[in-house]
Chain A
Amino acid sequence: MQSHHARLLRRSARKYWDLYLLLIPVLVYFILFKYLPMYGLQISFRDYQPRRGFFGSEWVGLKHFARFFSSYNCWNIIGNTLLLSMLTLLFCFPLPILLALLLNEMRNGAYKKVVQTATYAPHFLSTVVVVGMVTAFCSPSTGIVNVIIRALGGEPIYFMAKKEWFRPLYIISEVWTSMGWDSIIFLSALAGVDVQMYEAARIDGASRTKQLLYITLPSIVPTIAVMLILNCGRVMNIGFEKVFLMQTDLNLSVSEVISTFVYRQGIISTQTSYATAVGLMNSGVNFLLVLLVNEISKRVSEVGLW
């Protein structure tokens, strides 16, 4: 079917050129604001000096990359980064889908709006406040979590000082701030599902669980696939601010990630080149990952970025 349509469209490509016309503003934007400044990337391979500029600074090849990989703790830090981001992906990706499905099944419009607005509101909190609240809620003496634990007869836990709690706390707060917001895109995909299919299913006597599994889910698979690919492109980019604020003396061995490590090194000397190099390395890994996931997705679900 699909290929038949494509053939038909291609055959009737009489106003082929005006599609390019539609594309021009977008292409101009990307060339001007994205590709033109990309000469800046070369400072990863140079020792950047402002007055000498991007083309005049000394070429040092892979020096900055070598320096990163020669660090005593480099693999531990890379491990921490990957583990934290994989876990984040594992929890933060499926839950918005679940929430979107739930909201989609709610028939009471007013209640649905309340739930939706409440779950999406945390997106607007700044990182400082989120971490401040995590610390406050988890305080062993006054935090509400420990108040509840004590009320249930348990011993209070000093969450922020226990390294085994760093990852759970990070992920829980991440899920909390992003779940509602991330579900928006899936909700829009659900809105595109043909209601006639549900009617047909009801006539056939399918339960709502079955409708969910056999109509709703399959119809948003393309969106899920694209969002997953896009998310894989952020795996190395664990946000600096939140991790940094959640670090305590006692959780450093699990909470030190690439971005915080580079920040610590940067305090002592200005390292535009070094930081750019590490950023470039992260982007490179992410890009390869996206290429890979995109290929897999194209084979499995016929959905891809390009």
Chain B
Amino acid sequence: MKRAKRWTALLLALLMLCGSSALADASVLTESGFPIVSEPVTLTVMGSISAVQPEFTEMYLMNQYEEMTGVHIEWTSVPSSARTERVTLAISSGDLPDVFLKCSISASNLQVYGDSGDLLDLAPLLETYAPNFWAYAQQYPDVLASITTPDGHIYSLPAIADAPAARMNKKLYFNQEWMDALGMEQPTTVDELYAVLKAMKENDPNGNGEADEIPLTESTGTLYMVFGGLFGCFNRGTHHEEYDVDPETGAVRHIKTSDAFRQTLEFMHQLYEEGIIDQECITFDDSRAVGLISQDRQGVYFATNLALLPADRMDVWTPASGWVDGAIWPLMRSHLHSVGAFAISADCENPEVALRWVDYFYSEEGVRFYHYGIEGDTYQVNEDGSLSYTDEILAQVTGDMSYDEVVSQYSPYCGGNNPTIMSYPGYAGMELSPVPMASAEALMPYTPEIIWPFFNYTDEEKDIVTTVGTEIDTYVKQTCAEFLTGVRELNDEEWNAYVQRVNDMGLESMLQVMTAASERAMSIIGE
């Protein structure tokens, strides 16, 4: 294997010596538009597929795209549940495809494979060969900041979240039946918020005569963010649950040892004691909320969309019309949805063709093509401007075939991590249905002004983050939950002991890392 590699290297060198063959490849590309190549080119692609999806060769749009572009694809499909291992094995064994598609390669893996020379650095190629992506990234440089390593390399194209509803990972919904029963309006101050929650708990809004109402439930992590936002915490968005910027000093701070967060915990503890916050939030998973809602026992719901709920309980929920004045709604990410959606291997002979091939999906037209296909052929435009598949296609949705299975015969988007933009109206996810969209729009003004992108760390920083950082996070997680539930009393003595312990664990070095990483990221964004 080693020898084979050396031979390939030699061969490549020879080719380079022979002169123009490398350049000749570049000229395979057409000026612009379709087809993208002047002579047939073949790319090998390793793509991830999930259970509902057929092979890529059986997807209508992928075949259409092959004709449009003139690029023939040889697909290797891997099951989505093993995509991480399959990428690792492909790279470690040297059997590299030209392109990895939808494989959800993690940021740290990208950096490892990139540094070792297995993945191609896309940074110098993007402006020329991926004009659509580049234009978007110039407009929203937080995308670039998220995918650029500390050395300035870019090893993958990401899935981009554009529509507010796609960027906001949790939206807020109220149980309108309860609000009507209580005769209350959505809260705009902390006191009103408390009054609404208290009334939900005590005034039997579901009218069954039992005090079985649980106003709200969520994971502790989400609850910290929602209530922390009332006290100015989590002011750098949802990618960063542990660190943000102190509004007074402008320095990076550890959120969960700040005084503001102590106030948050005091407030939350009161709510917990009064039974307003679910007593079982420690073991929360989504089925908890669904269970409560199907029994009409929950008043406030936080979720991406309403798809989880039983059909007969969906209409109960009304989108938030705003949030508490002056508070932050921190559950908002940057324009980056997920990295590793598209990567080119170092063995690829036509990287510029691969880039042109994928770049179309980052255009307005390409987004529609990727999710819905061709107007009149596979999709139609509705009166309100939204898109939907044609009636003939939707007619295939029966008891035997789910919606996802039907559309997967056409589009590759199911399973997520797509190299495209989640924008309205081209993106086909459930977040863009009316209620979540309305909630997202109403909460937009409350989202943090500056949202930190994903941080990429240097090797030295990584060592600190993985050791000191993880240990602090683990300890903080347990202690905050103890304060929340009252296992540990939240008084000066206990709080100071907790803060002291976190400092002893090496918080200072973490603050330095976060400061350096955020400065690097913000310098790319230019703020």
A51-B117, A270-B112 given. 19 additional CB < 8 A pairs? A49-B112, A51-B91, A52-B116, A53-B1, A139-B280, A141-B280, A248-B283, A249-B220, A250-B482, A250-B485, A250-B487, A252-B478, A261-B470, A266-B466, A268-B462, A268-B469, A268-B470, A269-B465, A270-B106
A250 touches B469 (CB 8 A): no
Whole-angstrom distance from the CB of A75 to the nearest CB of chain B? 12
Q: Is the CB of B282 within 8 A of A265?
A: no
User: Which of A50, A71, A252, A268 contacts B465, CB < 8 Å?
Assistant: A268
Known: A268-B108, A268-B465, A270-B109. A250 touches B282 (CB 8 A): yes
B481 in contact (CB, < 8 A)? yes
- Some 18 contacts from A to B, beta carbons below 8 A apart, are A50-B92, A51-B91, A51-B117, A72-B467, A140-B280, A158-B279, A160-B283, A161-B280, A249-B480, A250-B282, A250-B478, A250-B487, A252-B478, A261-B470, A268-B466, A268-B469, A269-B108, A269-B466
Pairwise interchain contact B485-A161, C-beta atoms closer than 8 A? yes
* A70 adjacent to chain B (CB < 8 Å): yes
Contacts of B115 in A (CB 8 A): 49
CB-defined contacts of B469 to chain A, threshold 8 Å: 268
Q: Is the CB of A265 within 8 A of B470?
A: yes
* B478 engages A253 (CB within 8 Å): yes
* Chain A residues whose CB sits within 8 angstroms of the CB of B468 once the complex forms: 72
**How many chain-B residues does the 8 Å CB contact rule pick out?**
43
Residues of B within 8 A of A (CB): 1-2, 88, 91-92, 106, 108-109, 111-113, 115-118, 220, 279-280, 282-283, 346, 457, 462-463, 465-471, 473-475, 477-478, 480-482, 485, 487, 505-506
Contact in complex: A67, B467 (CB < 8 Å): yes
The answer to whether A252 and B474 have CB atoms under 8 Å apart is: yes
Q: Which residues of B contact A53 (CB under 8 A)?
A: 1-2
Q: Which of A73, A253, A270 has the most CB of B within 10 A?
A: A270
- Residues of the B chain whose Cβ atoms lie less than 8 Å from the Cβ of A248: 282-283, 481
Closest to A55 in B: B2
Q: Is the CB of A50 within 8 A of B116?
A: yes
A residues neighboring B (CB under 8 Å): 49-53, 67, 70-73, 135, 139-141, 158, 160-161, 248-253, 256, 261, 264-266, 268-271
Q: Are A264 and B109 in contact (CB under 8 A)?
A: no
Nearest CB in chain A to that of B212: its residue: A141
In the complex, which residues of chain B have a beta carbon less than 8 angstroms from the beta carbon of A50? 88, 91-92, 112-113, 116, 118
* A268–chain B nearest beta-carbon distance, Å: 5
Report how far A73 CA is from B283 CA in the complex, Å. Answer: 24
Name the 7 nearest CB pairs between A and B, nearest first.
A249-B481, A49-B116, A51-B116, A161-B282, A252-B478, A265-B466, A269-B108
Task: Compute how far the CA of A268 lies from the CA of B117 in the bound complex, rounded to whole angstroms.
Answer: 20
Residues in chain A near residue B482, CB distance under 8 A:
250
A145 to chain B, nearest CB (A): 14
Q: Which of B282, B346, B463, B506 contacts A160 (CB 8 A)?
A: B282
Checking B118, B463, B477 against A249 with a beta-carbon cut-off of 8 angstroms, the contacting residue is: B477
Q: Is B280 in contact with A71, judged by CB distance below 8 angstroms? A: no
Known contacts A158-B282, A249-B282, A269-B462, A264 near B487 by CB under 8 Å: no
List the A side residues contacting B116 at CB < 8 Å.
Answer: 49-52
* Contact residue among A52, A70, A161, A271 (Cβ-Cβ distance under 8 Å from B283): A161
Interface centre among A53, A253, A268, by most chain B C-beta atoms within 10 angstroms, is A268
Nearest-Cβ distance from residue B392 to partner chain A, whole angstroms: 39
**Docked-complex contact A256 and B474, CB < 8 angstroms:** yes
Q: Do A250 and B117 touch across chains, with their CB atoms under 8 A apart?
A: no
A264 to B99, CA, bound (A): 29
A278 to B494, CA, bound (A): 35
Q: Say how far B463's CB is from chain A's closest CB, in angstroms.
A: 7
Bound CA–CA A265/B478 (angstroms): 17
Chain A residues near B480 (CB-CB < 8 A):
249
**Residues in A neighbouring B112, C-beta threshold 8 A:** 49-50, 269-270
B153 to nearest A CB, angstroms? 15
Distance in angstroms between the alpha carbons of A248 and B474 in the assembled complex: 11
Return the chain B residue nearest A250 by Cβ: B481
Beta-carbon contact of A158 and B106 below 8 Å:
no
Q: Are B118 and A51 in contact (CB under 8 A)?
A: yes
Residues of A within 8 A of B91 (CB): 50-51
Q: State which of B1, B2, B467, B487 has its C-beta within 8 Å of the C-beta of A71.
A: B467
**A139: B residues at CB distance < 8 A:** 280, 283
Least CB distance, A283 to chain B, in whole angstroms: 21
- Inter-chain CA distance A253–B481, complex, in Å, is 12
Task: Name the A residues within 8 Å of B470 (CB-CB).
Answer: 261, 264-265, 268
The complex places the Cα of A252 from the Cα of B112 at a distance, in Å, of 30
Residues of chain B with a CB closer than 8 A to A251's CB = 478
Residues of A within 8 A of B283 (CB): 135, 139, 160-161, 248
